Amino acid sequence: MSVQSIPHLLYSNSVFSSNRDCVFVDFIGLSAKSRRRVRAASGVSAVSKFKRANFSPIKAVIDLERLGNASTQSENPERKAANLEDILSERGACGVGFIANLENKASNSIIKDALTALGCMEHRGGCGADNDSGDGSGVMSSIPWGLFNNWAETQGLAPFDKLHTGVGMVFLPRDAAQCETAKTAINNIFKQEGLEVIGWRPVPVDTAVVGYYARETMPNIQQVFARIINEENVDDIERELYICRKLIERVANSEAWGNELYFCSLSNQTIVYKGMLRSEVLGRFYYDLQNDLYETPFAIYHRRYSTNTSPRWPLAQPMRLLGHNGEINTIQVTIYITM
């Protein structure tokens, strides 16, 4: 397979590894002059593969200081290797990256490599005063239907219809009574919109790895499975699930438990596992991420460095559609994300 270089990467052939997995890690800064002022732009660096047992210093950092204007690039930019300690000093923003199989083949190795990569980004995130409650970490992947079908079998349920079923990863109220009230409200909205709730699954977790402050606010984490009843009347299940989520949020806003309800994801395609955790313990916290049945063709991973908002479980990333290593700094967006 021939690979075309990506102009702004300059060294894009490093992105592709021998087993046809695409690995993206970390970032470096580009220096670009614009008229009378110099502004910072973002670039990326890459390594061809993570090794779980023997992680060597990253050698794919490019020296772009001599580029001058961003629109004119040197044909042979000078490259210099960076020592691991140099990379560890770069902690001014979140750590974010992705791994994907170029042929869209799902495997368990993708999520394992993503967790390994995420663990290597601990230096990019922040922790609370207990030095254990992370600002946040998480992964997004395709839905591991094999894992969920195995659970369905243990519950006496039929295998899920992947084309017409949505999976919600939900943070629910800590109080047991309020949790049941919230679940009832969610069930009612789904029924109202023509979806059948197949079941609720408590997500298996290990609370021993959660920091003290994070444990104080840790939500009740469950998954909801909802199927379209009249399949011929629905041409876009993602749209239907989005409408359901917005209606649920509207109902929750008027309830005492409303600020404790949050959908990490509600989709027919993707799912998000996240929390106020250090990146190296995310996989230990969620037992699903340790399960060999968890297969995905891609994974986006994120370690949060909180700046203009205080750490909270819902504010860990990835979000429902993206993971980013900056701030979306408008008053309206900040308020919206916080709410």
Q: 49, 13, 26, 47: which is closest to 97 by C-alpha?
A: 26
Q: Kindly tell me if the per-residue pLDDT of 47 is higher than 80.
A: no
CATH topology of domain 96-338: Glutamine Phosphoribosylpyrophosphate, subunit 1, domain 1 (3.60.20)
User: Which two structure tokens, joined as six digits, stand for 79?
Assistant: 């490259």
Q: Between 126 and 73, where is the model more confident?
A: 126
User: Which two structure tokens, joined as six digits, stand for 199?
Assistant: 């079941």
Catalytic position from the list 94, 127, 179, 264: 94
User: Which two structure tokens, joined as six digits, stand for 133?
Assistant: 């409650």
Q: Between 49 and 305, where is the model more confident?
A: 305
Whether 264 contacts 243, CB under 8 Å: no
CA angle 90, 211, 213 (to 5 degrees): 100
3-state class of 105 per DSSP? coil
pTM of the model: 0.70
Q: What is the DSSP letter of 315?
A: G
76: left (phi over 0), alpha (psi -120 to 50) or beta: beta
- List pLDDT tens digits, range 230-274: 877 666 889 999 999 999 999 999 998 989 999 999 999 999 999
Q: The dihedral of CA 67, 73, 76, 82: what is its sign?
A: positive
Candidate ranges 33-42, 109-118, 166-175, 323-332; pick with highest mean pLDDT: 166-175
Lowest mean pLDDT among 2-11, 248-257, 296-305: 2-11
Measured between alpha carbons, how far is 235 from 72 in angstroms, rounded to an integer?
46
Q: What mean pLDDT value characterizes the chain?
A: 74
3-state class of 218 per DSSP? coil
Q: Between 7 and 170, where is the model more confident?
A: 170
In the residue annotation, 264 being an active-site residue is answered as no
- Percentage above 70 pLDDT, the chain: 61
Domain residue spans of the chain = 1-90, 96-338
Measured between alpha carbons, how far is 306 from 327 in angstroms, rounded to an integer?
9
In the prediction, which pLDDT does 45 show? 34
The 10 Å Cβ neighbour count of residue 19 is 12
For 27-65, the DSSP string reads --EEEEEETTEEEEEE--B--S---SS--PPP---B--T
